[in-house]
Amino acid sequence: MEARITADLPDSLPRPAEKIAIVSFVLVFLCGMVAGAVIMSFSGHADLHGKTALAADLGTTPVSIREWKEQLNLTDQQTVQLNSILDDVFRYYDNVLADGNSRIMQILNPEQQRKYQQLIAAHRRNK
């Protein structure tokens, strides 16, 4: 009877082993993304691009966006869209970092948490 039930299932549904593989792949990807974001935040990655590339206020459009606008001959609408995209990326990156930091704090004991916060503060001062 069991073979009969399995035969009636559509071929498009993933089997349990395939579901586990898919979920495992997604979890590994997400963990890698968070780890990469945390590492990049501590390695001075923002210095490579400059923080001004992600400004939210078009009245203070950063030099890099102005350069892109000139070099790519972007219309005003494209420039607004570019700025919006960069702002979204910045917000997403901020959220990933906050989540990563929160998760790191959860695994540390109180003394490690204090030292970790000191390391973060020192890193931010050096930027």
Structure-token pair, residue 48: 């490579």
**Residue 8 falls inside a structural domain:** no
Per-residue pLDDT, averaged over 87-113, amounts to 88
Count of domains in the chain? Answer: 1
Which residue carries 């935040």 as its tokens? 41
pLDDT of 72 over the 70 cut = yes
**Residue 4 falls inside a structural domain:** no
Structure-token pair, residue 5: 């039930």
**Residue 49 falls inside a structural domain:** yes
**Residue 24 falls inside a structural domain:** yes
**Residue 95 falls inside a structural domain:** yes
The reported pTM is 0.40
Which structural domain, as residue segments, surrounds residue 58? 15-126
Structure-token pair, residue 91: 């917000």
**Residue 9 falls inside a structural domain:** no
Give the DSSP letter string of 33-87: HHHHHHHHHHTTHHHHH-GGGG-S-GGG--HHHHHHHHHHT--HHHHHHHHHHHH
pLDDT in tens, 11-54: 666 677 777 878 787 788 777 777 777 776 666 555 544 444 44
**Cβ atoms 44, 109 nearer than 8 A:** no
**Cβ atoms 100, 35 nearer than 8 A:** yes
Rounded Cα–Cα distance for residues 78 and 84 (Å): 10
- Write down the pLDDT at residue 45: 53
